[in-house]
Amino acid sequence: MKFFSVDSPLYRFLSRLWDVVQLNFLWLICALPVVTFGASTAAAFSVTLKMTQDREGYIARDFFRAFRENLRRGIPLGLLFLAALYALYLDVQILGAAEAHEGLLLAMLILFVFVFVMAFLYAFALLARYDNSLTATLRNSYRIGIRFFPRTIACVLLCAVETGLFLWNRILIFVGFLIAPVCIMLTISGFAMAIFRRLEQEPGAVSNPEKLREEEGE
């Protein structure tokens, strides 16, 4: 029956769902040592960026190749991300316990969240696609976030909705454990790939986008 053929929407959906489950499992296992969180996340983004273009091959093979390639640069980015996330958590705790200057603390928290999102939202996708230093990756992520601010806000809101759905009840929490991180990475990758393609078509862009390096003087 055509409904169950390899070209049917159902088969393509189930195939993509299985790819997401596999990738989520690989990401989780390789991120568990904590120190390799950044390399694992960059490797997952390497695959999800290809998924947005229907260019992914064997999930495990592509993931582990990208994991090895991003190990050196991914470790410091991942540790910096986790440190910033922990600092954000402490800021929220301080605000909740504060008995004075709540307005100032809230303003500082909003500013911290803004910088955090701009610096890290596209950082792992940039690390997965381009060959840049840690500071250049964070700076480029921030620049992209500011330049494409409406798209960035749309991406953040969509990721927030996905997170809320996966936390809705126990069943969805279990489903989220299986697929949520990669689903959010896919969402970010969809926005990021559209932006990357636009930037790569601008005058002065390098001919090899897979190994883009920041131009001198920028």
pLDDT at 5: 55
Q: What is the CA radius of gyration of the chain?
A: 19
User: Considering only CA atoms, which of 120, 46, 116 is closest in space to residue 77?
Assistant: 120
Tell me: pLDDT of 207 over 50. no
pLDDT one-digit tens code per residue, 83-93: 999 999 988 88
189 near 45, Cβ under 8 Å?
A: yes
pLDDT on residue 216? 31
The residue with tokens 């093979």 is 61
pLDDT at 98 over 70: no
Give the global pTM.
Answer: 0.87
Both structure tokens of 216? 């001198």
Task: Give the model's pLDDT for residue 21.
Answer: 95
The region of weakest confidence among 37-46, 120-129, 195-204 is 195-204
Q: Which two three-digit tokens encode residue 83? A: 């440190």
Q: Which of 26-30, 153-157, 195-199 shows the lowest per-residue confidence on average (mean pLDDT)?
A: 195-199
pLDDT at 99: 66
Banded model confidence at residue 58, pLDDT cuts 50, 70, 90: confident
Q: What is the C-alpha to C-alpha distance for residues 43 and 54, in angstroms, rounded to an integer? A: 17
| Interval 136-192: pLDDT, tens | 999 999 999 999 999 999 999 999 999 999 999 899 899 999 999 999 999 999 999
Residue 71 has pLDDT above 90, yes or no: yes
pLDDT digits (tens, 9 = 90+) for 113-139: 999 999 999 999 999 999 888 999 999
- Indicate the DSSP class of residue 36: T
Mean pLDDT, all residues of the chain: 86
Residue 210 pLDDT? 45
Percent of the chain with pLDDT over 70: 87
